[in-house]
A = this chain, B = another copy of it.
């Protein structure tokens, strides 16, 4: 039996990403974000939504660039801190000991220690309400070599990204292998 919870910002699963930018003075900053996802394969684009009140909001509009940094399980506390503190008053890189590195292709820093990074050029901005949605074209994907799988792509069991459950506000890891896409559903074909 289904119960209605009303109009709520709630879906499973949500990602845990760190959005990194340079501010007007060139100071690197970063914040955690869970409202986002891939939005196009060609050109490859990713979306992330931030509140106007965040310090990163102005930096993205100014620099037309940001990186999406995918932290590993072992970096979940750092990611959480990036979502608590504000870059307007805190140097979050100093506080966490993480290292900002200048991106190759966009005017934004990425985080040296995270396993997976997307360098994004701002393509489109859409004001929705409390959040503003940014669509970024992925100019490059950077991956730590030790999390690459045999197929040359990042292996999710080595990247160990964090899954977020909104409303309950809890972080989880990635669990068991369930199957191959475009394969396990074939049993329903006539």
* Number of copies of chain A assembled together: 2
Contact B135 A9 (CB under 8 A): no
Interface, chain A (partner B; CB < 8 A):
1-15, 17, 34-47, 49, 68, 70, 73, 76-85, 90, 92, 95-96, 104, 112, 116-118, 123-124, 126, 128-131, 133, 135, 137-145, 148-149, 151-157, 159, 161-190
Alpha-carbon gap, A74 to B160, bound state (A): 22
Return chain B residues, CB-CB under 8 Å to A13. 13, 15, 156, 161-163, 174
A143-B5 contact, Cβ under 8 Å, with A95-B188, A175-B174 = yes
A37-B15 contact, Cβ under 8 Å, with A153-B5, A169-B181, A172-B176 = yes
Alpha-carbon gap, A85 to B9, bound state (A): 30
